[in-house]
Amino acid sequence: TWVLTDWVDRMVESIRTQVGDDRVICGLSGGVDSTVAAVLTSKAIGDRLSCIFVDNGLLRKDEARKVMETYTKLDLNVKMVDASDRFLEALKGVEEPEAKRKTIGEVFVRVFEEESSQVEGARWLLQGTLYPDVIESGHQGKGAAVIKSHHNVGGLPDFMKLKVLEPLRDLFKDEVRRIGAILGVPEGFLKRHPFPGPGLAVRCLGEVARERLDVLREADHILQEEIANFGLYDSLWQCFCVLLPVRSVGVMGDVRTYAETAVIRAVESQDGMTADWARLPYELLDRVSRRICNQVRGINRVVLDVTGKPPATIEWE
């Protein structure tokens, strides 16, 4: 660990030298990378780092509030922007997966541009780019097939002539987690499963309507609770619900129902490049299925995804 403590000290010094008296802007996503990059930078330049957290309305239940709590505890200078309405408006009628990603990326850039133009005298854009991201974008640049266009804070157009600050670009994920721990980022936060930039939009198949997002949030929340109850969270790479626009007939008491379908997706993986579906205990699956059908209006059937990657991808879109 002393090597990493040393790394932190040197990087803090190097950020100070690079940035001088300038102001830095950072888009926080709620993920590990942008958070660690921000804490590191704020250690170097304090409130001259202005963070922006965009709530796109596609986050999980209570997520925006919880993430903001963590940021506040970490003493980050952060402004939350609730842009849910703009995202959901832009997504109306959009069903094709790549079109969803493109729409979300465009709205994000617009919102972020507006917000950051209000930060007086900003010269730098801080990004949580890691070594694998550097490599990957190199490969994509050489014309590798794009299976899904990934949307992070990265890939912003070079607006406002901001210089890019990427303090984590020589690091791997596990090093970033360890550095986060050194910097006082809570362990629970560092261990969180990956969550895609386009959020629940790529887990809500078909139309991304507010009501359907709410249904998906409730179902997913039940799954998260039971995964935690069974002590399985840390052993999984990811686990989440997907909402399908497929309605089937059911019976609730003596009433016939005709409602949509929830999928349980849980995978084990080292790096997300390949993955195996997780053999979750039957008792867990049973509890999740019963609770979802009983407690979430809008879902009357729960199915399990038993496909590895390849041939499937982890996310459904």
CB of 136 to ligand XMP, least distance (A): 11
User: E strand or H helix at 254, and its extent?
Assistant: none
Residue 112 in 3-state DSSP?
helix
CA–CA gap between residue 41 and residue 49 (Å, rounded):
7
CB of 268 to ligand XMP, least distance (A): 12
Please report whether residue 305 would count as binding ligand XMP according to CB under 6 A. Answer: no
Residues 6+ apart with CB under 8 A from 203: 216, 220, 240, 241, 242, 243, 315, 316, 317
Which of 189, 197, 204, 226 lies at the binding interface for ligand XMP (CB under 6 A)? Answer: 197
x/- mask, ligand XMP, residues 85-124, rule CB under 6 A, reads: ----------------------------------------
CA–CA gap between residue 93 and residue 102 (Å, rounded):
14
Binding-site sequence positions for ATP:
29-35
CB of 309 to ligand XMP, least distance (A): 5
- Count of positions on this chain that bind ligand XMP (CB under 6 A): 14
Please report whether residue 313 would count as binding ligand XMP according to CB under 6 A. Answer: yes
x/- mask, ligand XMP, residues 17-56, rule CB under 6 A, reads: ----------------------------------------
Please report whether residue 60 would count as binding ligand XMP according to CB under 6 A. Answer: no
Which of 196, 218, 241, 262 lies at the binding interface for ligand XMP (CB under 6 A)? Answer: 196
CB of 11 to ligand XMP, least distance (A): 23
User: E strand or H helix at 164, and its extent?
Assistant: strand 163-165
Q: Are 124 and 165 in contact (CB under 8 A)?
A: yes
Please report whether residue 199 would count as binding ligand XMP according to CB under 6 A. Answer: no
Which of 23, 148, 173, 192 lies at the binding interface for ligand XMP (CB under 6 A)? Answer: 148
Please report whether residue 314 would count as binding ligand XMP according to CB under 6 A. Answer: yes
Shortest CA distance to 167 belongs to which of 150, 186, 180?
180
Interacting stretch for ligand XMP, rule CB under 6 A, among 92-100, 173-181, 190-198, 289-297?
190-198
CB of 64 to ligand XMP, least distance (A): 17
Tally DSSP H helices, then E strands, for the chain.
Answer: 10, 9
CA–CA gap between residue 314 and residue 317 (Å, rounded):
9
Phi, psi of 17 (to 5 degrees): -65, -45
Shortest CA distance to 202 belongs to which of 62, 61, 128, 104?
104
Query: In the chain, which ranges are E strands?
Result: 23-28, 49-55, 78-82, 122-126, 163-165, 238-252, 255-268, 276-277, 299-304
Please report whether residue 198 would count as binding ligand XMP according to CB under 6 A. Answer: yes
Q: Which residue has the tokens 């993986």?
A: 269
Interacting stretch for ligand XMP, rule CB under 6 A, among 44-52, 149-157, 207-215, 248-256?
149-157
Interacting stretch for ligand XMP, rule CB under 6 A, among 78-86, 148-156, 163-171, 277-285?
148-156
Count of Cβ atoms closer than 10 Å to residue 199 Cβ = 22
Interacting stretch for ligand XMP, rule CB under 6 A, among 68-76, 119-127, 189-197, 206-214?
189-197
Which of 79, 86, 102, 150 lies at the binding interface for ligand XMP (CB under 6 A)? Answer: 150
HEC assignment per residue over 3-45: HHHHHHHHHHHHHHHHHCCCEEEEEECCCHHHHHHHHHHHHHH
CA–CA gap between residue 175 and residue 181 (Å, rounded):
10
Binding footprint of ligand XMP on the chain (CB under 6 A): 148, 150-152, 194, 196-198, 238, 272, 309, 313-315
